[in-house]
Every structure is written in C-alpha cells, then in structure tokens.
Amino acid sequence: MRLIFIPTILLLILTTGCAENSIAKKKVVAEIQNVPTQYHEEVVITPRELILSSAELTPTQKEKLLIIEENNRDKYTRITDEIEKTKIVMIQTILKPKMDQKEYQILKKRLLKLDQDRIDNGFASIAKARDVIAPMEKLQKTQFDDIFFHNMVKGM
C-alpha cells in the first residue's frame, strides 16, 4: 500500500506544479496581449534608401532586396512590439509587493527567446540578401557581422 501511495503523491505534486506553470504562462500571455505599444525610432538613412540608391545593384537585385528588406522590417517590428509588451508586463510583475516567481521566469525566457528571434531574423535576411547579390559566395558569420548587424538593427 505504501509503495503505491508515494508515487501517487509524487505524481499529484508534479501535476499540480505543471498546472500552476500552465496557469501562470496563460496569465502572462494574456497580460502581454493587453499591453499597447508604440515603438518608433527615427533613422537617418534606411536600408530601403541604401538599396534604391546603390549604383552597384541591378534593377532585379534591387527588387529582390526590397522584398527581403520589407519582410525583415515587418518581422522585426512584430518581434520588437512583442518585446516591448513583454517588458511592460515584466516591470508590472517585479513591482508587485509579492512578485510571482513563475511569471517572472516565464517572462524572462520569453524575452530571451524574442531577442534571439530578432537577431536570427536579421542574420537570415543578411544571408538572403547576400544570396541575391553574390549567389555563389558563402556567407560566414564573423565578429564584424555581429557589430554591423547590431548597429543596423538599432536603426530599423
């Protein structure tokens, strides 16, 4: 009897913990969706202007690059809006006198994933752009790329 009782208790504890995490995650997602954001940053020169003004690109390359740039910008904006909303909910969470650790951990993981998604989106766009410009050239990520992309993302 005792051997059955212990696993049953452990299973009940694990199930309750998972249910609490699921409830906390649903609550966090709902709070994020309810946050309005307005994120705009003025840029001196846009990637679109650089593409259009380039004398080294053919009209076909420019057309393809503009499509890549537009898709990148749209995805970047969606991810950035989600990051801003998540930050607001995180600040609201940490300002509570009794902070919910589960909600905090969910928000932290979400911010890290969103930030990585934003970076991955940028590098994927760079690889696509290089494939349009020089299809035979293999692009390798370098420290220069990291610095260049980081500054480029800040300007979008």
Are residues 48 and 124 in contact, defined by beta-carbon separation less than 8 angstroms? Answer: no
Are residues 148 and 126 in contact, defined by beta-carbon separation less than 8 angstroms? Answer: no
Instruction: Please give the radius of gyration of the chain, using alpha carbons only, rounded to the nearest integer.
Output: 22
2: enclosing H helix or E strand: helix 2-33
**Tens digit of pLDDT per residue, the chain (156 long)?**
455 555 555 455 545 555 667 788 787 777 777 777 655 556 567 888 889 998 999 999 999 999 999 999 999 999 999 999 999 999 999 999 998 899 999 999 999 999 999 999 999 999 999 999 988 766 555 555 665 565 555 554
The residue range of the domain holding 79 is 2-155
Q: How many domains does the chain contain in total?
A: 1
DSSP annotation of 134 reads -
| CA angle centred on 152, ends 74 and 130, rounded to 5° | 80
Backbone angles phi, psi at 95, to 5 degrees: -85, -10
